């Protein structure tokens, strides 16, 4: 017996369970019974798909093994019916050479499960770097009520009596090891103590950045993005998320009402205030693109000119995500940033930002007011020139200002393998003024791995050099730092000018003016470009062949061209025809 939806709202799942065809109704009811679902329990209730993303190689998302049960309880308490589904996931530590291609594949997996199955709303369980944007891309494409729940960040570790954070501190200690300051036994001790709980990186890396942006664009409950994985409030947040998604189904509160153009502009400003990951440039662009909203690369710079860094948090500062949460967390940052935001944008509660984020932060050492910033320079700087006609980016808050205007000779590595084989040679022909260049690491070449933070050569580390200008068509980890120019577009493998740079060529960088210039004549550049030989396709078949042939360049977010609608009409969700199975 079918019950009408609350307030007479027609539920999408009723197209399966109350189908005009007796045969179809019979088949679906029988299949549900076989899975242990009594029709009397679910008919007439919103069916909530809970999309889980943990596996045994993904410590970041491991808390979702337990949290999913709290989400289910919340759904049931609110009158919905929960169904857990598993999708592919993206363990950043292990996916080689890059997890970025699988962001797009995961988004397709989630989108097509939602399209094909009797689901009225969804809770998407995220944390690790690409799981959050993948799910948001799917949510944007489906436009059914969706909420995300993060697993939470892991706890900081302790090494030699000092707090250490997986991610940022790893890179620092690795440099110390290469400089001869730490032994192999020291590093073994560090390896056993730097990452001792499940959860995301405990710094403002890509995971923490993306769940923060998810919250401000209305796709995560207010106050939940920064809760630690080990805190009991994370379980309570899971239950509240389950309750709220049922309400959102009845309210018809869909992603297109939350993820508006103004909401994305708020997210860009928040990215600057947090000192967030450069990967967010790709992800926000791709998520917005699924809704037919175009974010131009220059907007990441132009919209944040007056947004300073107001969070003292690694990798741009000192503190950890635990410190951040106890200082007021994301709610405190949004409160401080409110004068620069469109405060009328809706939260996941259906209420505007200004009504929800009313609590001042608690610790001025960690979260500071806008008029007393931790660093004046933040956000994303966009550079263009004959070396990056479609743009490149740099993160000011994690870079060395004295290198913002720099001219030096290039030392070129035309592959990651070449770089690894040379970087620590004692006879490497580099000094502190050299500009290290890494090419053929872009999206179509090899999936755009996080190789852009080229290691400082060992010989220079021993001389006390801690930063250099580095340029590549790769990405870098959100936990990384340095004067690293990333996402050069077009990439080398697509015939971009980065492919023609040779060791000894002079390159001029001016971050303030947004210039990235290869000091060669136009004629020489044209000759070298004509001499370029197309690189053979790395993958002869399969998904990575598809990805290489259809991925957009970095300035367009690296989505697949056939997944990005040309306009808002093309962004319309196409439902399935429901019939015999």
In sequence order, what DSSP letters do the residues of 500-560 get, joined into one string? Answer: G--TT-EEEEETTTTEEEE-S-HHHHHHHHHHPPPPPPS-SSHHHHHHHHHBPPGGGTS-B
The predicted-structure confidence for 277-288, as pLDDT tens digits, reads as follows 999 999 999 999
Task: Verify that 214 and 277 share a domain, yes or no.
Answer: yes
Q: pLDDT class for 565, splitting at 50, 70, 90?
A: very high
Task: Verify that 340 and 479 share a domain, yes or no.
Answer: no
Whether 196 shows a pLDDT value over 90: the answer reads no
User: Do 443 and 551 meet the contact criterion of CB atoms below 8 Å apart?
Assistant: yes
Res 9: pLDDT: 82
Domain that residue 183 falls in: 157-193
Task: Verify that 165 and 202 share a domain, yes or no.
Answer: no
The predicted-structure confidence for 491-542, as pLDDT tens digits, reads as follows 999 999 999 999 999 999 999 999 999 999 999 999 999 999 988 889 999 9
**Mean pLDDT, the chain, whole residue set:** 96
d(CA 364, CA 323): 11
Structure tokens given for 408: 């030096």
User: Do 200 and 150 meet the contact criterion of CB atoms below 8 Å apart?
Assistant: yes
Cα distances (angstroms) measured from residue 99 to each of 88, 90, 127, 212, 260:
12, 6, 14, 20, 27
User: Of 485, 481, 483, nearest to 172 (Cα)?
Assistant: 481
Task: Verify that 178 and 128 share a domain, yes or no.
Answer: no
Q: pLDDT class for 273, splitting at 50, 70, 90?
A: very high
Q: Does residue 372 lie in a domain region?
A: no
Average pLDDT over residues 106-112: 98
CATH classification of the domain holding 214 = 3.40.50.2300
Task: Verify that 108 and 217 share a domain, yes or no.
Answer: yes
Task: Verify that 85 and 220 share a domain, yes or no.
Answer: yes
The predicted-structure confidence for 23-46, as pLDDT tens digits, reads as follows 999 999 999 999 999 999 999 999
Q: Are strands 470-472 and 484-489 parallel, antiparallel or unpaired?
A: parallel
For the chain, percent of residues with pLDDT exceeding 90: 95
User: Do 212 and 205 meet the contact criterion of CB atoms below 8 Å apart?
Assistant: no
The predicted-structure confidence for 222-242, as pLDDT tens digits, reads as follows 999 999 999 999 999 999 999
Task: Verify that 162 and 151 share a domain, yes or no.
Answer: no
Res 568: pLDDT: 83
Whether 7 shows a pLDDT value over 70: the answer reads no
Whether 258 shows a pLDDT value over 90: the answer reads yes
Whether 396 shows a pLDDT value over 90: the answer reads yes
Task: Verify that 53 and 131 share a domain, yes or no.
Answer: yes
Angle between helices 100-116 and 131-142 (to 10 degrees): 40
User: Phi and psi dihedrals of 315, rounded to 5?
Assistant: -90, -5
Whether 326 shows a pLDDT value over 50: the answer reads yes
Res 269: pLDDT: 98
CATH classification of the domain holding 516 = 3.50.30.80
Q: pLDDT class for 5, splitting at 50, 70, 90?
A: low
d(CA 171, CA 67): 31
Q: Does residue 345 lie in a domain region?
A: yes
Angle between helices 329-337 and 261-274 (to 10 degrees): 110
- Tokens 């045969």, residue located: 23
DSSP string, 5-29: PGGGPPPTTHHHHT-S-HHHHHHHH
Q: pLDDT class for 1, splitting at 50, 70, 90?
A: very low
Task: Verify that 142 and 165 share a domain, yes or no.
Answer: no
Count CB atoms within 10 A of the CB of residue 36.
Answer: 7
Count CB atoms within 10 A of the CB of residue 160.
Answer: 9
Q: Does residue 415 lie in a domain region?
A: yes
Task: Verify that 440 and 313 share a domain, yes or no.
Answer: no
Task: Verify that 468 and 524 share a domain, yes or no.
Answer: yes
Task: Verify that 108 and 173 share a domain, yes or no.
Answer: no
Number of domains into which the chain is organized: 3
Average pLDDT over residues 110-120: 98
């Amino acid at each position: 017996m079918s019950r009408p939806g609350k307030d007479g709202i027609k539920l999408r799942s009723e197209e399966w369970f109350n189908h005009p065809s007796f045969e179809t109704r019979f088949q679906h009811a029988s299949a549900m019974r076989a899975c242990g679902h009594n029709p009397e329990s679910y008919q007439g209730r919103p069916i909530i798909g809970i999309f889980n993303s943990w596996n045994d190689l993904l410590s970041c998302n491991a808390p979702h093994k337990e949290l999913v049960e709290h989400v289910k309880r919340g759904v049931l308490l609110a009158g919905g019916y929960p169904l857990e589904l598993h999708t592919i996931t993206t363990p950043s530590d292990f996916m080689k050479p890059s997890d970025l291609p699988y962001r797009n594949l995961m988004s397709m997996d989630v989108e097509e499960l939602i399209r094909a199955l009797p689901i009225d709303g969804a809770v998407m369980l995220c944390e690790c770097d690409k799981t959050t944007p993948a799910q948001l891309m799917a949510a944007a494409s489906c436009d059914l009520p969706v909420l995300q729940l993060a697993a939470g960040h892991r706890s900081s570790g302790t090494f030699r009596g000092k707090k250490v954070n997986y991610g940022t501190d790893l890179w620092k200690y690795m440099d110390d090891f290469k400089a001869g300051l730490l032994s192999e036994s020291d590093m073994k001790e560090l390896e056993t103590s730097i990452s001792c709980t499940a959860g995301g990186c405990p710094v403002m890396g890509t995971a923490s950045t993306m769940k923060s942006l998810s919250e401000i664009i209305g796709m995560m409950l207010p106050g939940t993005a920064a809760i630690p994985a080990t805190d009991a409030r994370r379980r309570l947040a899971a239950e509240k998320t389950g309750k709220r998604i049922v309400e959102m189904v009845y309210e018809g509160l869909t992603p297109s009402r939350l993820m508006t153009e103004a909401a994305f502009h708020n997210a860009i400003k928040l990215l600057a205030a947090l000192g967030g990951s450069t990967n967010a440039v790709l992800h926000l662009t791709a998520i917005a693109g699924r809704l037919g909203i175009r974010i131009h690369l220059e907007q990441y710079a132009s919209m944040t000119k007056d947004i300073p860094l107001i969070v003292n948090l690694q990798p741009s500062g000192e503190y950890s995500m635990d410190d951040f949460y106890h200082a007021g967390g994301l709610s405190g940052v949004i409160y401080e940033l409110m004068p620069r935001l469109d405060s009328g944008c809706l939260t996941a509660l259906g209420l505007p930002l200004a009504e929800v984020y009313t609590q001042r932060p608690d610790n001025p050492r960690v979260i500071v007011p806008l008029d007393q910033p931790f660093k004046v320079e933040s956000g994303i700087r966009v550079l263009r020139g004959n070396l990056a006609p479609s743009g490149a980016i740099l993160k000011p808050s994690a870079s060395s200002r004295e290198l913002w205007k720099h001219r030096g000779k290039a030392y070129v590595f035309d592959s990651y393998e070449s770089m690894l084989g040379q970087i620590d040679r004692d006879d490497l022909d580099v000094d502190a003024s050299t500009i290290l260049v890494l090419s053929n690491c872009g999206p179509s070449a090899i999936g755009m791995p996080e190789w852009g933070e080229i290691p400082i050569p060992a010989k220079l580390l021993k001389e006390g050099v801690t930063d250099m200008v580095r340029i590549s068509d790769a990405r870098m980890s959100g936990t990384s730092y340095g004067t690293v120019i990333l996402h050069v577009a077009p990439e080398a493998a697509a015939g971009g000018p980065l492919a023609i740079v040779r060791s000894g060529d002079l390159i001029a960088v001016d971050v303030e003016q947004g210039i990235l210039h290869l000091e060669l004549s136009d004629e020489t550049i044209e000759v070298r470009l004509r001499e370029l030989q197309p690189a053979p396709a790395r993958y002869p078949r399969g998904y990575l062949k598809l990805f290489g042939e259809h991925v957009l360049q970095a300035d367009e977010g690296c989505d697949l061209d056939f997944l990005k609608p040309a306009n808002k009409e093309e962004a319309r969700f196409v439902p399935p025809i429901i019939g015999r199975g």
